[in-house]
Amino acid sequence: MLFHLRFAALAALLTAGLAPGAVPGSRLEAQERTRSARQTPRPAARPARTFTVALREERRNDVYRFVPAAVTARPGDHLRFRVESGAPHSIVIRDEGLEPRVRQAWAAALRGRVGGLSGPLLPETGTTYEVTVPAAVPPGRYRFYCLVHRAYAMDGTLQVVAP
Ligand SMILES: [Cu+2]
């Protein structure tokens, strides 16, 4: 009788010990289901748009501005800054209050960056400078300005909205 009890206990232990080996199949299946659910194709992403922003001097009254000064875009959209007059200009994204990963994403998006979130000097009329709104940038309001004409309040706002 005692032997039988011991045997039963041993058998139970063995079964328990084996169970994880025997069951993983179902665990794998569950993982597989999760994986394929994740891979279910989403509706096609909307095509990226390009917004052109002129960098302009209004000679009559010493006013420098981005035109338009406010742009609303989604991650993946492009901003094409075009020097129209009053060169040189530049694009600097204000980094106050940005999370490190967001700052990093913007930094990576600024081709020819010259430090911080400062784009290169755009020396000539006709120069274009394109910035793609990074996927890692969350919806929100981002401010930018021209370093050269900061004292003239040459600045603008980019409203990033969900993709
Ligand atoms: Cu400027």
pLDDT digits (tens, 9 = 90+) for 46-90: 899 999 999 999 977 789 999 999 999 999 999 999 999 999 999
Does residue 34 have a pLDDT over 80? no
DSSP run (H or E) holding 129 = strand 128-132
* Ligand 1 midpoint to CA 148 (Å): 5
* Ligand 1 midpoint to CA 103 (Å): 22
In terms of residue numbers, what domain contains 23? 2-39
* Ligand 1 midpoint to CA 86 (Å): 7
Q: Are residues 55 and 29 both part of a single domain?
A: no
Q: Are residues 125 and 68 both part of a single domain?
A: yes
* Ligand 1 midpoint to CA 20 (Å): 67
Residue 116 lies in a domain: yes
pLDDT digits (tens, 9 = 90+) for 82-133: 999 999 999 999 999 999 999 999 999 999 999 999 999 999 999 999 999 9
Count of residues in the chain: 163
Q: Are residues 137 and 109 both part of a single domain?
A: yes
Q: Are residues 70 and 133 both part of a single domain?
A: yes
First to last CA, the chain: 71
Q: For the whole model, what pTM was predicted?
A: 0.72
Q: Are residues 88 and 146 both part of a single domain?
A: yes
Residue 44 lies in a domain: no
**What total number of domains does the chain contain?**
2
* Ligand 1 midpoint to CA 163 (Å): 30
pLDDT attached to residue 41: 60
